[in-house]
Structure 1
Amino acid sequence: MTMEEQSLDDLTLSQTMPLCQESFSEWWNTVSAPPLSYITPTVINVPEETWKTDGHMDMLLLNDHSLTEVFDEELFELPPPDVSTMDGVNPTSSTVPVTSDYPGEYGFQLQFQKTGTAKSVTSTYSEHLNKLYCQLAKTTPVEVLLGKEIPLGAIIRATAVYKKTEHVAEVVRRCPHHQNEDAADHRSHLIRVEGSQRAQYFEDPNTKRQSVTVPYELPQLGSEITTILLSFMCNSSCMGGMNRRPILTILTLETAEGLVLGRRCLEVRICACPGRDRKTEEENSTKMQSGTKQTKKRKSTPGSSSMKKSRPTSSAEEEDKDVFVLNVRGRERYEMLKKINDGLELLDKDRKPETRVKHEFVLPSSGKRLLHRGDKSDSD
C-alpha cells in the first residue's frame, strides 16, 4: 500500500463543514457591489410584432439607433495606403495628357544647344517649329532653367504621346525589332535618361503610359542651368512602333508626391539626318506662310494678256512648240478662260485647211487633170 493510499484512508470527514459555509457566506457579504440604481440598463425598443402570444420572442430586430452608434461597421477595415509616403509610386495620369506649356511659379523653362543644320550633328532644335530633331539612341542634352529655388526632392518626368487626335489615346512604345535587340528591363520605353543611376521607369496602371523620372539637381557653382541627358530609342519611321506618326515629349517638373509644378511640351522627330530634315521642314513652313501673298501678287500682274499680245509677232512653228501654264483661282474664271482657249483652238483648225486648199489650186499649172500611174487619158 502506497503512502498516497494510506493518507486517503486516514482522512476523516470534517465536522466543521457548516462553519465553512458560514465563513463563505460571511466573506460573500463583505464583497461590496454597487446598488442596482447605479446600473443604467440599455433599453432596446423591440416592436410588439416580434412577440408571440405565448410570451416567447420570435426575432429581435436591431433597428435602434443606439446599437448602430455603438457598433462601427468600419472597425475591421484597413485604412487606405498613403501614396505620398510610398517609395517609387507613380502618380496616376489622365487619359488625355495636357500638352500646353505651363511655366508655373518657379518659371520652368527648357533650352537646347545651338548646333545648326549641318549633316554631322546628332541633335538640333528648331525654335521656329518648336521641334527637336535627333538620331536614334544618341544623347540629347536638355537644359533646365528655373526662376527661383525649388523645394528639395523635386523630379523631372519625361513622357511621350502622339500628336494627332486620332492617335493620342494610344501608348507610344518601341517597335518589336528594337525591343528584341535590347536586354534592359525597361526595353519597351522610348525615352531613356543617360548618365544617372537614380533614373526610374514607370508605367501607369490605368492608362499604360510609360514615363521616366530623374531627380532635379541644383545648378553647379557658376551656372544657372541643370542639364539632363535624354535618348530616344526608336526611329519615327519604325514599322510596328511610331510608324511615321508625329509625337510630342512632355517634360514636367513635379514634387516627390507627384504634384506638377511646371510643364513644357515639344515635338520630337527621330531620324537619320537631323540637320537636313530640320532645314527642309523650316523651308517648307516658310513657303507655306508666304504662299498666299505670292499668289495674290501673281494675280495682280497682267502676265497672261502680255503673253497673248506677243504671240502674233512670233511664227506659227514657235507657237506650236511653246506651251504655257496659267494658274487660275475660281471656277468662273477658269470656265471663261477655257472658252477663250477653245475658241482660239478652233480658229487654228480653220486656218490650216485653207492653206492646204490654196496649195492644191496652185500646184496644177493648167486646167488639165494630172495623170497618175495606171490612169488613161480622155483621148484613149
Structure 2
Amino acid sequence: MDEPGDSQEFADLWNLNLIELPTENGDWDDVFGRTGLEFPVPAAGFAQDGGSPPGSTVPTTSDYPGDHSFHLSFPHSSCAKSVTCTYSPDLNKLFCQLAKTCPVQMVVEQPPPPGAMVRATAVYKKSDHVAEVVKRCPHHERTPENNDGAAPPSHLIRVEGNQRALYHEDANTFRQSVVVPYEPPQLGSEWTTVLYNFMCNSSCMGGMNRRPILTIITLETNEGLVLGRRSFEVRVCACPGRDRKTEESNFRKQQETSAASQVSVSSSKRSAKEAPSSDVSAAKKAKSSSSTEEEVFTLQVHGRERYLMLKKINDSLELNDLVPPADVDKYRQRLNPKSSNKRDKEPKRGKRLLLKEEKSDSDSVNE
C-alpha cells in the first residue's frame, strides 16, 4: 500500500495536467501563466541579414514608379566595338562585358524617407526558368579571379566602389540580391549613380546558359516596403557594341515585318468584306441573265429629272418590244424621207455637186 506522501504528489501532478483550455475569447497567454510555463512566441515575419523581408517566389518585373516617380537612366554610349558597357533604349537592354563597370542612374522626383535602400536582383526573363535562382557558373565561382572581395562568390550582381553594400540571400527562395543605401543626388545633379558589375557571361554553361535575364532595381524603405520598381534586360558578352547593333537591326526588321503583316491582314479583311458583295452582284447577274424577260425590277433614282429621262427610255423600249421590226423601219423612213434622199445624193468626200446652171472649170477653159 502506497504512503500518503506519494499519493499527494501524484494528485498534484495530475492536477497540473488538467489545464483548462481557453474559450473562444480566451488567450493562450493566460493558460501559460497559470501553468508557469514559458514558450517563445514566433515573430510576425522572417528577416535575414538584419531586416531584409522574405521575398516572393516569383518576383514582379513590371515597372512601378510609385509616389516618388522612381525611374532609371543610363549614360549615352555608342555601338563601337571597344565599348565595355552600352544601353539600348529601343530594347531596354544593357550590354556589358564580364566584371566591367555598369553605371545605373537612379532618379526620383520626391526624395524617399530617410534610411531608404536600393536593391538589385537578377531573375530569368522567360517563364520556363523564372522559378530558378540566377547564380554564377561553377567555373567563375571557383576561380580566384574576381573573387577576392567581400561579395560571396556565387552572387552574379555586385556593387563597385561602395563599402556599405550588403549581399543578401533569401532564406525561403534563395534568391540573391545586393543592397546599398540610397544617397541623394549631389549638388547640381539630378540622379544618383550606382556602379554594378555582372560577374558571369550569359553563355556560361552551368550558369545563365544563354537564358536571358532581367535585373530588377527596387527603391525600398528600411523595413523592406517597395517605393518604386524598374527592370531592364542584361546581356553579358565579349563584344557589347556588336551585339547591341545586331539585336537592334533584328528588332527593326521584326517591326517592319509586323507592320507589313498588319497591313496585309487589314487588306485581307477589307477584301473579305468586299467579297460577299461581289459574290452577291455576280449571283444577281447570273440570275438576271437566266431569268425570263417578264421579270420586273425596281430601280431607285435620285432626282425627278433623271427619273423622267429614264422613264422615257423605258417607254421607248417598251414600245419597241410591241412594234415589229419591219414596221419600225417603215416608220423611221416616213419620219425622215428628205434626209434619206439627201444622204443618197450626197457626193463623196472631196467632190462638189454641180447644178445645171453651173459649169465646171474644164468647160470654161475649153470655151
Shorter chain as denominator, the TM-score bin is: 0.5 to 0.7
| Residue from 73, 76, 92 that aligns with 1:114 | 76
Cα contact 1:237–1:243 (8 A) shared by 2: yes
| Residue from 159, 162, 167 that aligns with 1:193 | 159
Q: Tell me whether 1:245 sits opposite 2:191 in the alignment.
A: no
Alignment match, 1:105: 67
Alignment match, 1:72: 30
Alignment match, 2:119: 157
Letter in 1 for 2:170: D
Alignment match, 1:210: 176
Distance 1:70 1:191 in 2: 46
| Residue from 193, 198, 211 that aligns with 1:232 | 198
Deviation at residue 79 of structure 1 after TM alignment: 3.8
Deviation at residue 88 of structure 1 after TM alignment: 2.4
Distance 1:136 1:64 in 2: 63
Deviation at residue 150 of structure 1 after TM alignment: 1.3
Letter in 1 for 2:62: S
Deviation at residue 78 of structure 1 after TM alignment: 2.8
Q: Tell me whether 1:180 sits opposite 2:146 in the alignment.
A: no
Alignment match, 2:257: 291
Please give the secondary structure, in 2, of the residue aligned with 1:227.
strand
TM-score by length of 2: 0.60
Letter in 2 for 1:164: K
1:276–1:84 distance in 2 versus 1, CA, 3 Å: same
Alignment match, 1:94: 56
Distance 1:262 1:136 in 2: 28
Q: String of CA shifts for 1:116-163, please: whole Å, max 9, x gaps.
A: 111111111111111110110001000010011211100000000001
Alignment match, 1:341: none
1:86–1:265 distance in 2 versus 1, CA, 3 Å: closer
1:243–1:73 distance in 2 versus 1, CA, 3 Å: same
Distance 1:64 1:283 in 2: 73
Cα contact 1:174–1:242 (8 A) shared by 2: yes
TM-score by length of 1: 0.58
1:238–1:72 distance in 2 versus 1, CA, 3 Å: same
Q: String of CA shifts for 1:159-204, please: whole Å, max 9, x gaps.
A: 0000111100111000111111134451100000000000000000
Please give the secondary structure, in 2, of the residue aligned with 1:73.
helix
Deviation at residue 82 of structure 1 after TM alignment: 7.2
Letter in 1 for 2:212: P
1:78–1:118 distance in 2 versus 1, CA, 3 Å: same
Deviation at residue 65 of structure 1 after TM alignment: 7.5
Please give the secondary structure, in 2, of the residue aligned with 1:166.
coil
Cα contact 2:49–2:168 (8 A) shared by 1: no
Alignment match, 1:255: 221
| Segments ≥4 residues shifted beyond 4 Å | 59-66, 68-71, 81-87, 292-298
Cα contact 1:174–1:241 (8 A) shared by 2: yes
| Residue from 192, 215, 230 that aligns with 1:264 | 230
Q: String of CA shifts for 1:288-319, please: whole Å, max 9, x gaps.
A: 11125557999xxxxxxxxxxxxxxxxxxxxx
Alignment match, 1:316: none
Cα contact 1:83–1:89 (8 A) shared by 2: no
Structure 2, unaligned runs of 5 or more: 1-13, 265-367
Cα contact 2:69–2:109 (8 A) shared by 1: yes
Cα contact 2:96–2:102 (8 A) shared by 1: yes
Identity of aligned residues (%): 60
Cα contact 2:21–2:31 (8 A) shared by 1: no
Deviation at residue 89 of structure 1 after TM alignment: 3.0
Deviation at residue 72 of structure 1 after TM alignment: 1.8
Alignment match, 1:166: 128
| Residue from 131, 137, 153 that aligns with 2:93 | 131
Alignment match, 2:268: none
Letter in 1 for 2:53: P
Letter in 2 for 1:203: E
